[in-house]
Amino acid sequence: MISAGDFKNGLTVEIEGNVCQIIEFQHVKPGKGAAFVRTKFKNIKTGSVLEKSFRPTEKFPQARIDRTDMQYLYTDGDLYYFMDVDTFDQIGLTSDQIGDSLKFVRENDMVKMIAHNGDIFAVEPPMFAELEVIECEPGEKGNTATGATKPCTVETGAVVYVPLFVNLGDKLKIDTRTGEYLSRV
């Protein structure tokens, strides 16, 4: 059990029967009255963000979140298939369960399956991806004093804004959390 006074960003607890991750918290000690903890948390399964205040002595059970490495195999219609590389067990997830998380993931890349009590609720791609540019306009010379960018499509179909010197066929290093270009490889 974790008391509200011990909240930290990223901590996962069960609040009112829901698995929630603490996004922000603030200990407030008003001049008059008892102290409280103002909390902003995200329901992991539904994705909704709520704000609520708790007394610092309120206790919540810590939610056990399991992260399992799996290999992304292929897509078949609305289903995405993954395989556990140790046991060779395969699972299929719908596009609603996946969301945008496979935007920068190629077939046969490793991802992390995030589950609570055996129920997978998210897929976490690797932090960085090295992808090849398959469609890109040539950069125009001229007024580039402001660090101009152009849209390029990478091999997974995602569009990334890159500097003008990036060309067709270049391999890019991309931050999968933000979708930003980092460097050429």
Q: pLDDT, tens digit, for every residue of 105-139?
A: 888 999 998 888 888 878 888 999 999 999 988 87
pLDDT tens by residue, 172-185: 999 988 888 998 88
Tokens found for residue 84: 């556990």
Helix (H) / strand (E) element for 98: namely helix 95-98
What pTM value is reported for the model? 0.70
Q: What are the residue ranges in the chain where pLDDT is below 70?
A: 141-145
Domains and CATH numbers, the chain: 2-60 (2.30.30.30), 65-124 (2.40.50.140), 128-184 (2.40.50.140)
The pLDDT score that the predictor gives to residue 145 is 62
| CA–CA separation, 36 and 27 (whole Å) | 6
Report the alpha-carbon distance of residue 19 to residue 11 in Å, rounded: 11
